[in-house]
């Protein structure tokens, strides 16, 4: 079976909450992979985090998100340079943690919908990523671009849009990152969208349609499992669910009510569900 993991922000209330004790929480819940949010990559103690991973026999995956000040599509070249520098810091951090990839919103700012020409934005995105993939290669870490739903992003809402960017950048270090929460909104059929990604699928998130743990909601998991098998997916299976309305994390992800009574228990249930549903992927 493929390694299963959980995004550590599941337990965070603030985006800068200490990640070190959350690795044990992920382990205790039954996961093999801890997914790190690299939102402040320069502030993390990678040595301590890597030591804890090794001590617990855990693997790492990493994700991040660009913002207005690190927008690699921006008309201002200095802002684009800051974005590339930010992604470099994330890629170097991912390498230190032993993560094979850096996923998330790695190609445009999250939750931002510019008024200027999106075609020009796309061209600058491609140009920036051509620089970023060289850094990725230097660190032996893949860049994964996450398909977002229309309410959180505009540049990649479909696999076709993501593949078009991959074709333009033309690097084996650039892949797609799919998430069932977003696919549930944008895809006519989730399985078909996974198959379109094919060999370019680099990272996968398993989340309920309402951002609860997998097993809740109405995602067609049989369809997901078969599609992952069809494309020969060999990456991690990570749940990035958000169920706690507390603090800036809950507010930032639009979680306005408690979606799980016991976070640790729900995490264990998520791990059990993924192991059962995805055991033959």
Residues annotated catalytic, as ranges:
146, 240
C-alpha 184: how far from its chain's center?
16
Tokens of 155: 């540049």
- The residue ranges of DSSP E strands in 38-180, in sequence order, are 59-66, 101-109, 142-146, 174-179
In order, the DSSP letters of 1-59 are ---EEEEGGGS-SSTTS-SHHHHHHHHHHT-SEEEEE-SSGGG--HHHHHHHHHHHT-E
Q: Is the Cβ–Cβ distance between 208 and 185 less than 8 Å?
A: no
Q: What are phi and psi of 174, to 5 degrees?
A: -115, 125
């Amino acid at each position: 079976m493929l390694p299963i993991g959980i995004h550590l922000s599941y337990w965070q209330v603030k985006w800068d909450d200490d990640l070190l004790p959350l690795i044990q929480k992920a382990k205790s819940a039954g996961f093999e992979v801890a997914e790190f949010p690299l939102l402040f990559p320069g502030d993390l103690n990678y040595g301590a985090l890597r030591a804890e991973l090794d001590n617990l026999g855990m693997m790492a995956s990493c994700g991040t998100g660009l913002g207005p000040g690190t927008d690699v599509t921006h008309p201002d070249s200095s802002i684009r340079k800051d974005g590339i520098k930010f992604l470099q810091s994330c890629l170097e951090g991912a390498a230190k943690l032993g993560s094979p990839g850096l996923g998330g919103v790695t190609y445009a700012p999250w939750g931002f919908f510019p008024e200027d020409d999106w075609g020009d934005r796309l061209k600058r995105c491609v140009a920036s990523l051509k620089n970023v993939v060289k850094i990725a290669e230097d660190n032996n870490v893949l860049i994964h671009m996450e398909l977002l739903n229309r309410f959180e992003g505009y540049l990649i809402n479909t696999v076709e849009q993501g593949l078009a960017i991959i074709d333009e950048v033309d690097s084996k270090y650039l892949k797609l990152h799919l998430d069932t929460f977003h696919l549930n909104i944008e895809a006519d059929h989730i399985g078909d969208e996974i198959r379109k990604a094919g060999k370019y699928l680099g990272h996968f998130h398993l989340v309920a349609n309402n951002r609860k743990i997998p097993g809740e909601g109405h995602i067609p998991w049989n369809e997901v499992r078969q599609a992952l098998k069809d494309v020969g997916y060999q990456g991690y299976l990570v749940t990035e669910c958000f169920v706690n309305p507390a603090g800036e994390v809950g507010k930032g992800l639009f979680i306005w009510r408690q979606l799980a009574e016991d976070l640790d228990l729900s995490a264990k249930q998520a791990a059990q569900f993924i192991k059962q549903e995805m055991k033959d992927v």
